[in-house]
Structure 1
Amino acid sequence: MDLTVIETPDGDRYVDRSAGERGAEAPFFHVYADPAGETRWGYFCGNCETVDNAMDSMGRIECNVCGNIRKPEEWDAAHE
Structure 2
Amino acid sequence: MDIWSTEDGETVYISETDGDKGSKGPFLVAYETPDTDRRYGWFCTNCETFDNAMDAMGRIKCNRCGNFRKPTEWDAAHE
State the match for 2:2 in structure 1: 4
- Count of residue correspondences: 78
Task: Using the TM superposition, give the Cα deviation of residue 77 of structure 1 relative to its aligned residue in structure 2, in angstroms.
Answer: 5.3
Q: Secondary structure at the match of 2:22?
A: coil
TM superposition outliers: structure 1 runs of 4+ over 3 Å? none
Structure 1: runs of 5 or more not aligned: none
Give aligned-pair identity as a percent. 51
State the match for 1:20 in structure 2: 19
- Root mean square deviation of aligned Cα: 1.6
State the match for 1:68 in structure 2: 67
TM-score (normalizing by structure 1): 0.88
Task: Using the TM superposition, give the Cα deviation of residue 34 of structure 1 relative to its aligned residue in structure 2, in angstroms.
Answer: 0.6
State the match for 1:37 in structure 2: 36
State the match for 2:45 in structure 1: 46
